Amino acid sequence: MPFLERDTHRLYYDFHNPRDLSTRSLVLLHGLGSSGEDWFLQRSHFTKYYPILTLDLRGHGRSSMGTGWPTVGDLAIDVVAMLEEVGCSSAHILGLSLGGAVALQLALDFPEFVCSLTSVNSFARLRISGRGWVRSLGRLFLLSIGRMDLLGTWIAAGIFPYPGQEAWREAAAARIGAN
């Protein structure tokens, strides 16, 4: 398992299908409470066309938290360090939610590393309104009482709400609950 050792933390990353490095890699950045493993469905498709890099952001999946709370800018610096580690001078960046915010920051601070950018269900600045406040307060409550298992179950139910998605819902709840 590849880890990138940083000053205060370790980052887990995985390089899927690195066979053709003449093609720019695709970097998949996950959302808050998730990990690079959440891209398993997309990886199976995209590896036909690109070398794929996934990264567990600080405090997620197999990456350690380090000291203090990282900013989105800190997470973007981690992505640059990973790209340098594997020898990518620029890549296609696809980020979901928090990963999209990291992708936007990466494009602002390190445009030379970004060949193209896709930001999905993301934000440039976090502003919560209406129904989002209720969901956010619920998440904060569960987080504050240390019930990541319940938080994972709640978030996963929103991501995979339909019959027939039970296995994905359970896998997402377990992954989110472990962070």
**How far is residue 117's CA from residue 103's CA, in Å, rounded to a whole number?**
7
CB 13 within 8 A of CB 94: no
pTM of the predicted protein model: 0.78
Beta bridge partners of 4: 11
User: For 86-128, what is each residue's pLDDT tens digit?
Assistant: 888 899 999 998 999 999 999 999 999 999 999 998 877 656 5
Q: Report the percentage of the chain scoring pLDDT > 70.
A: 87
Vertex 42: Cα angle to 44 and 55 (nearest 5) = 100
* Residue 163, φ and ψ in degrees, nearest 5: -60, 145
**How far is residue 160's CA from residue 178's CA, in Å, rounded to a whole number?**
18
Nearest to 154 by CA among 136, 168, 171, 173: 173
For the purposes of burial, counting CB atoms within 10 Å of the CB of 155, is it exposed (0-12), middle (13-18) or buried (19 or more)?
A: buried
pLDDT of 44 = 87
Position 164 confidence tier, pLDDT thresholds 50, 70, 90: very high
Task: Give per-residue burial for 28-47: e unless 16+ CB within 10 Å, then b.
Answer: bbbbbbbbbbbbeeebeebe
Q: Report the percentage of the chain scoring pLDDT > 90.
A: 47
